[in-house]
Structure 1
């Protein structure tokens, strides 16, 4: 089902549940990995994806079709991730560096993380980035999104996104070089 048709059916009471199931099937995996790359922990990502879909279900009537549906959903998921990470820092009273250490340990011990040593090092390098830089890097590098699409999701200009991506790649390169030298 095309997004336009999904939106129409989501906004009608008699077809809302069916359309919602279709929507979840269509976007669940992509969104899960988008969220997972930000929060690292499988259980947290699972909880957040449920929150995202609940918000989509409740707020579909406020969706103005001036943006693409997936852009709107990604924006909700992105905001949920950033809010979650901020709450987690405050709840655990950890500065950014300590949260990075906690998430790094999750990477080391999680049965849900597979990958070779290089992939693990890249994930640890990403944890050193500020949340928004990590978000831009994930969307551009892993999800192969266009800057225009990322701009629609984050509400950030294309120029700022390009700069953010450039800074992120430089920081990752520096981290990986330092890691190789140790």
Structure 2
């Protein structure tokens, strides 16, 4: 389908997509981001749904999945942040600022010692992205992404073993 026809189709469906997005968030910018991400992901397979009466159902499912994945990513980031600042898990009194800097430098050295692409894949994984999302981003098979994350974790554990509790 030609770009002009897609633009017309998406403009026609935008109001309904805005209604769908309103079910997930009331923030204008978040709704716009959700609509745009939905349309971007829909472009990959829109040709197979273009004349299908279930087009809007399909777009709704895409939007819902995007929202759920974003929610999970944010929740995971928040949980990691909470774990870092709660002293139940980490005794901050035993470290001074120089020790924090040393630990940070060691982590940075360990990350810099692995290939850049593997480090980026690992960071996306820590941010809560799903394996298939990372695979799409890097145009790699999902199995390759899983093995790179596993190998990166092992390398980082080995390089940072001095900080592991016994």
TM-score of the pair, normalised by structure 1: 0.38
Computing the radius of gyration from Cα coordinates, the structure with the larger value is 2
TM-score of the pair, normalised by structure 2: 0.41
